[in-house]
Structure 1
Amino acid sequence: MMPAEDLDAEYPEDDWLSLSGIQHFSFCKRQWALIHVEQLWDENYLTAAGHIEHQRVDDYSESELRGDVLSIRGMRVFSRHLGITGICDVVEFHRSSRGISIQGREGLWEVFPIEYKHGTAKTIDADRLQLCAEAMCLEEMMVCSIPEAALFYHKTRRREVVELDDSLRDTVRADFQQMHQLLSRGSTPSAKPSKACDACSLRNLCLPELMNKKSVSNYIEMRLHEFVTDD
């Protein structure tokens, strides 16, 4: 959890991070740093499929009003407190007496962001953290409260409603704080090889298998020690 004195701090726009980066950071801190610190990228079939699906979803011209639900696609959001900016796939505004007013629209509306994802629901919180960060941006921008939001997975064609509780919000704050620190230092964490590396598009750039090899410096130190011992 961020210290109380940091909760009201604001980052200048030049220091804002990509909101979607928290999904990479949660999956692998080294992956995030390779992309956002070292500016490296490579595609695989998973990332390519995800880009195609998001191009369809993020088309602002497809925004529409159906009954009491206004759906806005490709809505840009930001948070000065978190120091982030990004695009929400879809933000639904549900007409409700408990909602907020929207310029150019009659009545009151509750805010409900939806993030579209390739594949199926994951056991880790990477997607949920990204969704929570989007909601926190909307809360700051629109001065409202968003208790829950949803993830839509293309493979299952179903929504997963996510409760945006304090634990999830604290993790969002802590992760972005650490990301800001890593970026300011230009630091890339070491690889921690796991089964997840097999699905990473940056595997050939990260080379996690080298972490299991002895480093050159350690090899030289070992040989010098053997030389001294033999004498």
Structure 2
Amino acid sequence: MDDDLIPLSALQHYLYCPRQCALIHLEQQWAENRQTAEGRLLHDKADTPAVELRHGVRTVTAMPLSSADLGIGGVADVVEFHVEPTGERPYPVEYKRGRPKAHRADEVQLCAQGLCLEAMFGKTVAEGALFYGQPRRRERVVFDETLRSLTRETIDGTRAMFISRLTPLASYEARRCDSCSLLDLCQPRLLGKAGHVDAWLKRQLQNED
């Protein structure tokens, strides 16, 4: 993949937590926990390039995707090609561990795959699916204008951070941080407090003036 393209996975990381995205993609830091290990095992089959034809659907695993106009690229877990009167219709499927999330980070990553497929095949990709490991079923995701706009905004935000090469400051949120594999590397409790101390010191100095 072109080094100038923003990785599709970075979009999911950025929307979930910009600091996590920077630690992984700018500082090249990584740590594994139970959740990431489960996710890696779930992706094992999808990470092997292959083409399979079954019941009139051509399924491609580990398919490279890119959009030069959007400046994004990566590898799709699975792309199904459904036969229609006008030709084959691409349908991206992304594998995720756990359950459907309250945030839309997974949906944005999938929608970005759809935008890449549109650029590559010149056809509208109206939807895709997220396959979660615990319920072991697909969740249909419609690429409506709201999701497409959020995806483009996330691409712009991620690109701006990549260009700046600046890692955002830590900010601790229990629901988001405690399950993150980078918790020990990020140190949001400690560094978040340090930011509050700096702000307190600045206020004290201003009050003395």
Question: Does the TM-score normalized on the shorter chain lie above 0.5?
Answer: yes
Structure-1-length-normalised TM-score = 0.82
Kindly provide the CA deviation profile for residues 88-110 of structure 1, in whole angstroms up to 9, marking residues without a partner as x.
11111111103xxxxxxxxx211
Are the aligned partners of 1:95 and 1:109 in contact in 2 as well (CA < 8 Å)?
A: yes
Is the counterpart of residue 69 in structure 1 residue 57 in structure 2? yes
Give the total of aligned pairs: 205
Q: Contact between 1:82 and 1:177, CA under 8 Å: does it hold in 2?
A: no
Which of 188, 193, 204 aligns to 2:167? It is: 188
The residue type equivalent to 1:198 in the other structure is D
Q: Which residue of 2 aligns with 1:207?
A: 187
Separation in 1, partners of 2:83, 2:167: 45
Gaps of 5+ in 2: none
Q: AA paired with 2:112?
A: A
2:22 to 33, 45, 62: 33
Question: Structure 1 counterpart of 2:169, which letter?
Answer: S
Q: Tell me which amino acid in the other structure corresponds to 2:34.
A: Y
Moved over 3 A (4+): 213-222
Cα distance per residue 1:148-187 (max 9 Å; x no partner): 1111111111111111011111111111111111111111
CA 1:123–1:221 in 2, change beyond 3 Å: closer, same or farther?
closer
Matches of 1:145 and 1:96 in 2, distance apart?
13
Counterpart CA distance in 1 for 2:3 and 2:186 is 28
RMSD of aligned Cα (Å) = 2.0
Q: What residue is the counterpart of 1:115 in the other structure?
A: 94
1:83 corresponds to which letter in structure 2?
G
**In structure 2, how many angstroms separate the alpha carbons of the residues matched to 1:148 and 1:117?**
17
Identity level (%): 40
CA deviations over 1:62-105 (Å, ceiling 9, x no partner): x210121111111010111221111111111111103xxxxxxx
- Residues 161, 216 of structure 1: alpha-carbon distance in 2 compared, 3 angstrom cutoff: closer
Residue 197 of structure 2 aligns to which amino acid in structure 1? S
Aligned to 1:131: 110
- Cα deviation for residue 144 of structure 1 reads 0.7
TM-score w.r.t. the length of structure 2 is 0.90
